[in-house]
Amino acid sequence: MKNHKSIAIDGPAGAGKSTIAKLTAEKLGYIYIDTGAMYRALAVYFLENDTDINNEAAVSEAVKDAVVSIEHIGGEQHVILNGRDVSGLLRTEKVGDAASKTSAYKAVREHLLALQREQAKKADVIMDGRDIGTAILPDADLKIYLDASSEERAKRRLRQLEEKGLPAGDFDDIKRDIEERDYRDIHRAASPLRKADDAVVIDSTHMTVPEVTECIERLMKEKTEASIGD
């Protein structure tokens, strides 16, 4: 029997999934689960252990020794890698790039599958990633495919870097990097990024953050009311 509510949000890098999921979780009183952070934690493990991230066999062997768990402290998700909180190490381009490459490997995805599913059994969750609606939570109450043009996503990334006071780099380089990641996520054999058949597409290119969260809240309310009526 399914006890807890779940919302799956999938979509390409930079579409605003984490911002939207975090806010919606706060409003609805759900726990936000960032699955990309788990792939990033494994990437930290491979980089720190000098695993050749282009070698699937080496990564598949190395991943066996990486124990990832998550904790929620004050509503924030922390990722624990072999007993160490690595949350502060996840947001670099190097780690993102390694996560994008290694998340294509079947053994890496299987390593995180049970952990991700367990979270949805423990609480009402809003989970974001690439394969949540298609593979991790196929029975989610609501599935969203959040998209935006690569131009707009590159603009947002540039703005984020500038706000953090980090070297922003060149717009065209950022856009190319986003498009390369999209290509890898969409074309990999293991759980590629794709819209679940029953997902609602929200194109956020011309939408504000509150507009998107309100849209998701409304959709969830409709689902809940419909299920009460069943």
Q: Which residues bind ligand DC (CB under 6 A)?
A: 13, 35-36, 39-40, 96, 99-100, 103, 129-131, 181, 185
Q: How far is the CB of 115 from ligand DC (least distance, A)?
A: 11
Q: How far is the CB of 33 from ligand DC (least distance, A)?
A: 10
Closer to ligand DC by CB, 106 or 221: give it.
Answer: 106
Closer to ligand DC by CB, 177 or 216: give it.
Answer: 177
Q: How far is the CB of 22 from ligand DC (least distance, A)?
A: 13
Closer to ligand DC by CB, 134 or 213: give it.
Answer: 134
Per-residue three-class SS string for 162-224 = HHCCCCCCCHHHHHHHHHHHHHHHHHCCCCCCCCCCCCEEEECCCCCHHHHHHHHHHHHHHHH
Cα separation values, 144 from 3, 85, 141, Å: 21, 30, 10
Residue in 11, 82, 74 with CA at minimum distance from that of residue 48: 82
Closer to ligand DC by CB, 43 or 227: give it.
Answer: 43
Q: How far is the CB of 135 from ligand DC (least distance, A)?
A: 8
Cα–Cα distance, 57 to 46 (Å, whole number): 13
